[in-house]
């Protein structure tokens, strides 16, 4: 069994939920379910945005709080929460944004635990600290980092293994990147994926539960991830206009369907977690099949090694498969529509 797999110790879902109950206190059972608005309120809606790099919109400039440690979250001033808020304001629906605590690299457990920033830059508080008794709307997405999606990408790419800014290590660094399809079809790799998804499921249950506890009157909207790989993977064999690298760099063509299957499974897990806990879900995967990283001028995802709008110490930073401006606007469109529906029901 690969060394990276041996490091994991499985914790059962009942154990995690029991631990959460202890952490939240005996009043947890009395937590009030998320309230239901009967109409879009005339007054501003106290709102908190949370999430990882797909909510922070890593790769889009300028970076918010660039002169403080929070700058290492790579949250842009024009991320989808900001754009969605403006879209809603244009319809006379005003969000009183109490905080946007989305941060690149965040795992689900960073909702309730502080997060260490890269290169020893410091720490940011648990994202749940932004919730208040009067918060009425909580919106954002997490899951990909807990799943270890960047580890999967690095398992399949020699080029990405050279990039320290991209968090995570290959699942098994001793296995060649060119053999990643065979690797992920092995029993050990399947067991690793099953464990990672079990972790995501349990952590999503806890995050939704904590939202209800700390913001008992809030509507909760969990936002999924846009699709990265198209159904027709031959589209990934052509570089985007003006680019020299393929959208998925040196990842073997036979591994691309695997990446898509993993992402679809994550989308299904997130959708089920929201449904099971009475939260709303924004399904971006099903709406972005024509805006993947392989869709040329229509791509909503920047290629793995395509230069983003950011640089670090004078060196350009790749998109690493994150939404570009077009993709950000797609995120904002569907998130704003869901918020409008939630506030009007």
For 41-66, write each residue's pLDDT tens digit: 679 999 999 999 999 999 999 999 88
| pLDDT attached to residue 37 | 41
| Residue that wins the pLDDT comparison between 168 and 227 | 227
At residue 148, what are phi and psi to the nearest 5 degrees? 90, 35
pLDDT tens string 64-109: 988 888 999 999 999 999 999 999 999 999 999 999 999 999 999 9
Q: Compute CA distances 273 → 10, 58, 114, 224, 277, whole Å.
A: 20, 25, 23, 11, 6
pLDDT tens-digit map of 320-339: 999 999 999 999 999 999 99
H or E element that contains 290? none
CATH architecture of the domain with residue range 41-344:
3-Layer(aba) Sandwich (3.40)
C-alpha to C-alpha distance for 326 and 17, rounded to whole angstroms: 39
Q: How confident is the model at residue 24 (pLDDT cuts 50, 70, 90)?
A: very low
Is residue 198 pLDDT above 50, yes or no?
yes
Identify which of 193, 189, 180, 227 has the alpha carbon closest to the alpha carbon of residue 54. Answer: 227
pLDDT tens across 122-173, in order?
999 999 999 999 999 999 999 999 999 999 999 999 999 999 888 889 999 9
Q: What is the three-class DSSP state of 214?
A: helix
Rounded to an integer, the average pLDDT of 300-323 is: 95
- Which has the minimum average pLDDT: 4-13, 38-47, 276-285? 4-13
Q: pLDDT-derived band of residue 39, with 50, 70 and 90 as boundaries? A: low
Q: State residue 42's pLDDT score.
A: 77
State the pLDDT at residue 164. 82
- What is the Cα–Cα distance from 313 to 294, expressed in whole angstroms? 29
Q: With pLDDT > 70 as the criterion, what percentage of the chain qualifies?
A: 88
CA atoms within 13 A on the CB side of 95: 30
By the 10 Å C-beta count (0-12 exposed, 13-18 middle, 19+ buried), 209 is classed as: middle
Instruction: Between 7 and 297, name the one with better pLDDT.
Output: 297
pLDDT exceeds 60 at position 40: no
Residue 225, number of CB atoms within 10 A of its CB: 24
- What is the mean predicted confidence (pLDDT) over 193-199? 98
- Supply the mean pLDDT for the chain: 90
State how beta strands 45-51 and 95-100 pair.
Answer: parallel
Strand, helix or coil for residue 250: coil
Q: What pLDDT was estimated at residue 2?
A: 37
Which of the residues are catalytic? 53, 105, 145, 322
**100: enclosing H helix or E strand:** strand 95-100
């Amino acid at each position: 069994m690969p060394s990276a797999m041996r490091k994991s110790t499985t914790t059962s879902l009942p154990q995690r939920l029991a631990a959460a109950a202890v952490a939240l206190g005996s009043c947890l059972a009395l937590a009030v379910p998320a309230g239901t608005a009967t109409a879009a309120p005339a007054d501003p809606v106290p709102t908190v945005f949370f999430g990882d790099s797909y909510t922070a919109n890593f790769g889009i400039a300028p970076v918010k709080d660039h002169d403080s440690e929070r700058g290492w979250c790579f949250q842009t001033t024009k991320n989808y929460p900001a754009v969605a808020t403006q879209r809603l304001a244009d319809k006379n629906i005003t969000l009183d944004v109490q905080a946007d605590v989305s941060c690149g690299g965040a795992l689900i457990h960073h909702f309730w635990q502080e997060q260490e920033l890269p290169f020893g830059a410091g720490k940011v508080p648990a994202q749940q600290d932004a919730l208040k008794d009067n918060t009425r709307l909580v919106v954002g997405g997490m899951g990909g980092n807990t799943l270890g999606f960047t580890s999967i990408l690095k398992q399949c790419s020699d080029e990405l293994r050279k990039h320290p800014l991209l968090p995570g290590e290959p699942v098994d660094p001793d296995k060649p990147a060119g053999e990643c399809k065979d690797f992920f079809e092995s029993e050990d790799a399947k067991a690793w994926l099953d464990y990672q998804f079990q972790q995501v499921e349990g952590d999503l249950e806890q995050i939704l539960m904590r939202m209800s506890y700390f913001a008992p009157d809030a509507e909760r909207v969990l936002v999924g991830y846009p699709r990265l790989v198209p159904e027709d993977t031959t589209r990934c064999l052509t570089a985007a206009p003006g680019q020299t690298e393929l959208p998925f760099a040196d990842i073997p063509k036979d591994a691309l369907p695997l990446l898509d299957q993993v992402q679809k499974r994550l989308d299904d897990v997130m959708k089920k977690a929201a449904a099971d806990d009475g939260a709303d879900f924004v399904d971006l995967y099903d709406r972005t099949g024509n805006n993947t990283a392989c869709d040329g001028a229509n791509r909503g995802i920047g290629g793995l090694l395509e230069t983003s709008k950011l640089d670090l110490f004078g060196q350009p930073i790749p998109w690493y498969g994150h939404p570009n401006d077009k993709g950000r606007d797609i995120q904002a469109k569907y998130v704003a529509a869901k918020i409008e529906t939630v506030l009007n029901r």
